Structure formats: C-alpha cells, structure tokens
Amino acid sequence: MGIGSFIKQFLPNNSGNDSAFGELLKEASDQIGQTSWWNVNVTELAVFNDKIVRLTNKEKAAFIIYLVEHIAHYHNSHSSFSSTNVKYIRISMGKSILSALFKMKLELDDDDLAEIIHIAIRYNTKSAYPVKIPLKAFLNQIQKKYTDTPLPKTISSALKSLQNKVKNDADFCTELDKSKLTEQIGTILNPTTPGDALKAVLFPGDDELTIFINQNVARLPNEDKAHWYAIISLCKKASGAKPSNKYLDEGRPLINKLGADQFKVVASTWFDHFLTIKEKERRHTFTFSNQTYTDVTYTFLSAPATECFKGVIWLCATVKDTTLLQRVALVAERAYRKLPGHGQMSTAIGNASLFTLYKAEGLEGIGHLSRLKVRIKLNSTLQLIEKYMVQAATDRAIPVSVVEDLAVDDLGLINNTRIFEIDDCKAIIQVEKVDKVSLTWQKKDGGIQKSEPAFIKEKYPAQLKEIKLAAKQIEVNLSTQRDRIDLSFKQGKNMLWEHFDKYYLQHGLISIISHKLIWQLTHADGVTAAYWLNGEWIGYQQNVLAINNITEVCLWHPATATVDDVQQWRAFFIDKQIQQPIKQAFREVYLLTDAEINTRNYSNRMAGHILKQHQFNSLAKVRGWQYMLQGQFDNGADGTATIKLPENNLIAQYWTNVIGEEAGTSGIFNYVSTDQVRFVNMRSNETVALADIPVIVFSEVMRDVDLFVGVTSVGNDPNWRDNGGLPAYNDYWTSYSFGDLTEVAKNRKETLTRLLPRLKIAPVASITDKFLVIKGKKRTYKIHLGSTNILMEPNDQYLCIVADRSQKNLTENIFLPFEGDGGLSMIISKALLLADDDKIKDVTITRQINHR
C-alpha cells in the first residue's frame, strides 16, 4: 500500500480535526491546556509515550506528513495566531511533536523516505513561521541506513529533486543551510569508498576567504591535504556560540596527526589573509512614491565561510603558540570593526576569537583580552570580555586586576629595545616613548638605515613579517597598558612589593610606563611618594631616598597630597624635562564643594551642558563607562551613563536628556543636555552620600565627567553656531566658549604659566584670568584656555580656526610634561600660528583677521 492510500485511512472525512491523527493532536493539546503550552516537553506527555511512540513505522511516516500539511494549511489560511486560540495551540503542539519525532530513530521504508523528501520540497521554506522538515537530521538517517547498501532509485530520484530545489530556490533555505545540504546530499548520492582516491573536502562558501583557503590547501602535499580535509570536515560542524568539549577533544588528535607546527603555519596564513579582506559594497536602487532611493549595504563573509572559519579559530585554543594567539587577537579586532549600516563585521568570528584567547593555555590569551577590553567599545562585547576575565580570575583565585598584570607579555623588550638577527643584519625595535616605536636596521658594517635591506625583503619575507608584527604589537600593547594604568586610579589598587617589583618595575614592557610615574611606597618607616630614576628611588627635590623594607605600593594621586607637594612634583617634571605617559603630577583634582555638601546626594557641577551625543558615547566607552544612545525609538536607553566601581561597591551615574527634535539619519538624537552626577550602592541600588565616597574615587569620576564636557561640548566646535546648531542654545555656546574655566582649563593655565618662559612665543605672550593672549603682527588674540576658541582685539571679534589634521603638528618638538591633553596642544599650536599672523597663507583665516 502506498503512503498516500495509507494516509486516507486516517482522513475519512478529509478533515484534520476528525481524523485519528487529529484526535492525537487534540488529546496532546488537552493534556496541557492553555496555561503552559509554549514551554512543554511533549516527550513527557502520556499521549506521546502511550500512543504516538507506539505507532508503526508506516503510521509515523503518515503522521509526519499529516502534521506538515496540516500546519502549513493553517499558516497559509492566515488563521489566528493568538496564544489563546485553541486551534493555534494545537498547531504549536503539532510543531513540537514533529520536532520530537525527528529526534527519534525512524525505521521507514523507501517509499516513505522518498515521500517525506517530496513533502519537504513542497513545504519547507526559510521563512520563520511555517513548519519545516529538519532536513539535516532526516538526511542523517538516510545516510546511516544506506551506508553499506546501494541507494534505491526512489530515494535517489527524490534526493536529486531536493538537490535541484536547494540550488535554484532562494526562498527554500538560508545560505548556510544551502551549503550544508548541498554537501550532504552530494555525499549521499556519491559516497566515498575506501578504495577511492583522496576526495577533497572544500572550505564552504563562495567568497574571497573561501577561495584563498581552498587554493592554499590544494597546494599542500597529499599527506597534509588528507589531514586538512579532516580538520575542515570538523570545522564545518562549528555551530553555536562556543565549542563543546567534544568538539575540542575531536580536534586535538587531528592537529597532532597533522603536526602542531604545520597547523600554526597554515592557520596563520589564513588569519593574515582574513585581515586583508575588504568589505564589499552593494548598491540597490528602488522607487517608492515617485521618489528614487539608493540603499547601500555591505557584506564581509558568507555564512558558511563564517561558521567554518569560526571552527578553525576554536581549534587554536588547543595549540599553545604566542604568534598564533597574536593573530587571533588581530582577527578579533578586525571582526569587531563596524560596517556602515550593518554593525560589526562578524560578531561570530569576533566572539570565537575571544573564546580562544580565554581558553588557551597559560595567560597570553588573557593578556590580549585585557588589551581588547580597552580598545573595543560595544557593550555586549565588553560584557563578554569581562565575563571571560572574571572566569579566568576565579579559576586562579586572584583578583581580575592581578590576572591582567600577570598576563602582560614583555614582548622580548630589554631596556626599551628588542633585537632580531637575520643573516648579517640586526633589526632593532626601539621604544622612544609610549606612542612612538621605531624599527631600524643595522648592517654588518655598523651602518643604520630606516628601511629594510633589499635582500631581507627578497630572502626572508616571513621573518620580516614577524618583525613588523612584533613592532606593531609593542606599540599597541604599550598604548593599551598606558590606558589600563590610567583607568586604575579609580580602583585604588594596592600591590605587594614583590608583585610590583616583578610586574611593574622590572617588566620589559610595563617598566617603560612605570618608570615615569610617581609611586606611593609603604615601608617600615611610613609612607613616601617616590620616583624611580637610574635604579634608585628619589623625591621631588631629586634627592635619593633611603627606603627599606617596602611592603606595599600604589599609584600616587594628587588628591591625597598637599598643595605644596603637588607643586613640587610638577616643578620636578618640568625641570627634568620628563614627560609622563599619563597625566599624574598635573592631574586635575576634584574635591567636594560647598554646593555638593548641601545637595548631599548629588552633584550639579557638570549639569547644564550641551554635548554631541555620538562623541559623548564614544568617549564614555573609552573611559570605561557604559552608555546607550538615545534615539527616536525605544531601545531601553534612559540617558544615564554609568561606570561600575566594584572595589568600592559603587556605581557612578551621569544623567543626560535629549534636546532638540531633529535626529540624524540613523534616528539617533544629535545632542543631549547634562544633569547631575550620583553614586549608588552596587548591591542595594540606594543613593550614597557624596561625603561617603572615597576622595580619589570621587575625584576620578568627576574628572571623567569634566573630560566628557570638555571634549564633546558644542562650545568646543568653532563652526557649531554658524552651521545652524540649535539656535535656542546659542547663549550656551557663547558662555561656554569664553566663560569660566573648568578644572581641566585651570590645569592648562598652570601648565602654560610654567612652560611659557621656555617657548619662543614668550616675548609676545601673556596669561590672563581665562585666556592666553598673543600679540601678533596684525592683531592681538585671546585664546580661551578651556574651549580653545579665539577672540581678536580690539572688538572681541570671533576668529574661527578649524584644526587641519593633515598639517604638520606645530607642537611636535615642544616639551609637554604629560601626554594626552589635545586641548593644551591645540592652544599652543594656535598661539604659534598667530604669533606670526603676517605669514599665514590660509585665506579663510586671513579674511577674518583683516576684516574689522
């Protein structure tokens, strides 16, 4: 009896609800009622175990076909999808039963198997709501059944029809499913036998990475090819957010058979190529309401290639190799780079890289996670990194900050230098300062040149690539560690002397930063602020300090020092011409004001400013804060920027509100107004009185907030008012541009007062309450020490100068006692320019100067 005739036994009135199968569906629905049908495990229902499981194989096949057709008919008839609708509950129950049946081993005959394939061709679709035959699981059953016997013609014919459907119908399945089904059907139709020649297992997809990898494997010796085909076969199974232990356990012997060194070399080549791939832009023009629009989208990797490549990255967790992990970290950065209108390039590949860095043996991977935590801005990614960091710390029973210290690689640096020897040459990587790393070449005769010798490029391309990668890694890691140490002021981190000595003072990489900072040393005779110079601790009077038995060390902070001590340390760095990698001696200090004591629970010191929201969002994340952009849609954003301070059980909040009615093309509001700063208890969420906040923590949080205002306020934009801005807030622009000085600006004023006598503009420069005044050849200029905006005497005419990043940095050869204050550099640069205003060629500037 054919299955079609068999089914008719159960459909005497051609009515699903009146049939025997319909009764099974009704009985299952009745057993659960309407209260929890969406969360039921059908295999626990009596009707499933007592009746459905007991159906004959022929009856199960008929039941499957009945369910598919019945559910598809319901959806196609546009019936109700209400969760209270009895028929919809039965349809949902049918989907659950169908899924459970395909998880069982189905002993079906040839006709039944072929008929189910045809049913899948008829009803399967990649659309979200209709029922689907789980083809991969179903084809697995066919594959196992006919492992040792020829494929029957009925099934072969049905599979070829399915193969054609997958190939030609774009709505049948997703790109990833298409790749997997095509390969699986091909394997069933043309199985490999032990005597066959080596059969290629291709990396899936049709994009640039796929082509490169398949060509790369094709050039390998046959023995290596066989091992790589096995590895690629495993990587094609790399579904899910992270690998199972079974996946990694299967991967280890495959890599061992190939050889770990061979795996590293080939995988590194693939990663290097991945880093060079450019996203592809696609433009689609369409007309709507007589208007023509162009939709621009970007693509990076296909879904099949992404999944398989993810599997390769996971396998790197089983191989211990410094260079390989460096490349995995670079892959993560590339994957998290944003595409316009798309988001991150490939979150799946980025997350796979994070897992591998966390899972890799030792602490090198954790060191890369620590670096990525500073460089990546997306909240969800930062949370994942934090999760891995916390887990790594928990596994070792030590604080996260200590894990980060232990994980920092010295990258082979000794006395700020790393040397590679190739042939008769030496490649010398030299750290000149935190953000400047040079690579020079010393020839056999001792001569030094900046570019690599021609024969190195020709004979040793692989070594040259590794040397340049090492230089880049040193530069990136120095910058990251500088930022990490700067952010650690909020932690109030105390270190045992042994830890500090090993991981800060003597460390090849960190010592480049730590040797230029002031440290607070706790020792047998008390607490002393000291600076490490030429192998000795000295004070600000440049005297060698006799300090014995140091027990603890922490960063010195000016908020806990006397005014005289702060002034002496500032004089020390200027007199010694030492530039600190972070602003420490000249760091702004924020102490409680009378107004804040009166308000008690909140500060209005930074309220009432207008910020550019996108800039504010970016800067907040750089400083470790979390903020969600506010837009013309409900994404849960409440306008509050927060930073967790777990060491003190606190969360700091900076409140904002959107202003203006216009949003950008993305629906995000352009501007926000600022409100109060608060601190809340991390556990109870209750507001904490400002007087109870530790001095350094309060100062550092307020410093961040002042930085947000100082950098992203519209008052810093010389073109904001002229470009339209928000006309109702023009008074704010004027008051901020030339108003009272913030703490940052006050610090600039003091720094400039110390530096000015050393600058060539000293004879024509002076400092007033709010301005650096420059007497030029044509006019006198007042540069505001906060906004850096300029007024010209005698009538306080506004002078608009927009920074041109392509121009030479006028302050490049001027000593500044700290790095990182772009505003101070801007003020000095403008002053140098205007002191020689008769030499200015830019007509947009000269036109303003000459107009009175």
CA atoms within 13 A on the CB side of 731: 2
Cis amide leading into 253 (omega within 30): no
**What gap in Å lies between CA 354 and CA 381, rounded to an integer?**
9
* Paired tokens of 546: 């006799």
Q: Quick check: 740 and 609 in contact, CB under 8 A?
A: no
Mean pLDDT for the chain overall: 87
Asked whether the predicted pLDDT for residue 5 surpasses 60, the reply is no
What's the mean pLDDT in 365-371? 92
What's the mean pLDDT in 385-398? 91
**According to the model, what pLDDT value does residue 332 have?**
95
| Structure confidence by residue, pLDDT tens digits, 734-746 | 888 888 888 899 9
Cβ neighbours of 301 (radius 10 Å): 24
Asked whether the predicted pLDDT for residue 388 surpasses 80, the reply is yes
Asked whether the predicted pLDDT for residue 667 surpasses 90, the reply is no
Q: How confident is the model at residue 12 (pLDDT cuts 50, 70, 90)?
A: very low
The residue type of 186 is G
Higher-confidence residue: 43 or 315?
315
Cβ neighbours of 115 (radius 10 Å): 23
**According to the model, what pLDDT value does residue 217 have?**
93
Q: How confident is the model at residue 605 (pLDDT cuts 50, 70, 90)?
A: very high
What's the mean pLDDT in 547-570? 95
C-alpha distance from residue 347 to each of 196, 227, 240 (Å) = 40, 29, 12
Asked whether the predicted pLDDT for residue 812 surpasses 90, the reply is no
Asked whether the predicted pLDDT for residue 445 surpasses 70, the reply is yes
Q: Quick check: 709 and 742 in contact, CB under 8 A?
A: yes
Nearest C-alpha neighbor of 704 from the set 848, 489, 459? 489
Most confident of the ranges 32-36, 442-446, 783-787: 783-787
**What gap in Å lies between CA 569 and CA 529, rounded to an integer?**
10
| Structure confidence by residue, pLDDT tens digits, 276-331 | 998 887 777 777 667 777 777 777 888 899 999 999 999 999 999 999 999 999 99
**According to the model, what pLDDT value does residue 663 have?**
63
* Paired tokens of 502: 């090993």
**According to the model, what pLDDT value does residue 13 have?**
40
**What gap in Å lies between CA 308 and CA 231, rounded to an integer?**
10
| Structure confidence by residue, pLDDT tens digits, 48-72 | 888 988 899 888 888 888 888 888 8
The residue type of 161 is S
**According to the model, what pLDDT value does residue 8 have?**
46
Asked whether the predicted pLDDT for residue 399 surpasses 60, the reply is yes
Q: Quick check: 832 and 801 in contact, CB under 8 A?
A: no
Residue written as token pair 């009432």:
608
**According to the model, what pLDDT value does residue 38 have?**
62
DSSP structural state of residue 579: P
Residue written as token pair 């002993």:
107
Q: How confident is the model at residue 7 (pLDDT cuts 50, 70, 90)?
A: very low
Q: How confident is the model at residue 661 (pLDDT cuts 50, 70, 90)?
A: low
**What gap in Å lies between CA 111 and CA 61, rounded to an integer?**
10
* Paired tokens of 161: 């029809």
Q: Give the distance from CA 499 to its chain's centroid.
A: 30
What's the mean pLDDT in 370-397? 89
> Going by DSSP bridges, is the β-strand pair 602-603/765-767 parallel, antiparallel, or unpaired?
unpaired
What's the mean pLDDT in 458-477? 92
**According to the model, what pLDDT value does residue 197 have?**
52
**Structural domains of the chain sorted by starting position, each given as residue range(s) with its CATH number in brackets:** 3-194 (no CATH), 224-278+304-406 (no CATH), 417-484 (no CATH), 516-575 (no CATH), 594-712 (3.30.310), 740-850 (no CATH)
**According to the model, what pLDDT value does residue 33 have?**
62
| Helix segments in 439-521, DSSP class H | 454-459, 461-487, 497-500, 511-514
**According to the model, what pLDDT value does residue 292 have?**
74
Asked whether the predicted pLDDT for residue 11 surpasses 50, the reply is no
What's the mean pLDDT in 340-350? 83
| Structure confidence by residue, pLDDT tens digits, 782-804 | 999 998 999 999 888 989 887 76
For the chain, how long is the longest CA-to-CA vector? 108
Q: Quick check: 674 and 712 in contact, CB under 8 A?
A: no
| Structure confidence by residue, pLDDT tens digits, 211-255 | 999 999 999 998 899 999 999 999 998 988 899 999 999 999 999
Asked whether the predicted pLDDT for residue 90 surpasses 70, the reply is yes
What's the mean pLDDT in 435-456? 91
**According to the model, what pLDDT value does residue 722 have?**
66
Q: Which SS3 state, helix, strand or coil, does residue 114 take?
A: helix
The residue type of 522 is T
Higher-confidence residue: 575 or 104?
575
Nearest C-alpha neighbor of 505 from the set 520, 495, 497, 515? 515
Give percent of the chain with pLDDT exceeding 90. 52
**According to the model, what pLDDT value does residue 718 have?**
76
C-alpha distance from residue 88 to each of 69, 127, 493 (Å) = 15, 18, 59
Asked whether the predicted pLDDT for residue 589 surpasses 70, the reply is yes
| Rg of the chain, C-alpha, whole Å | 34
Buried b / exposed e over 559-578, threshold 16 CB at 10 Å, is bebeeebbbbbbebbbeeeb
Asked whether the predicted pLDDT for residue 340 surpasses 90, the reply is no
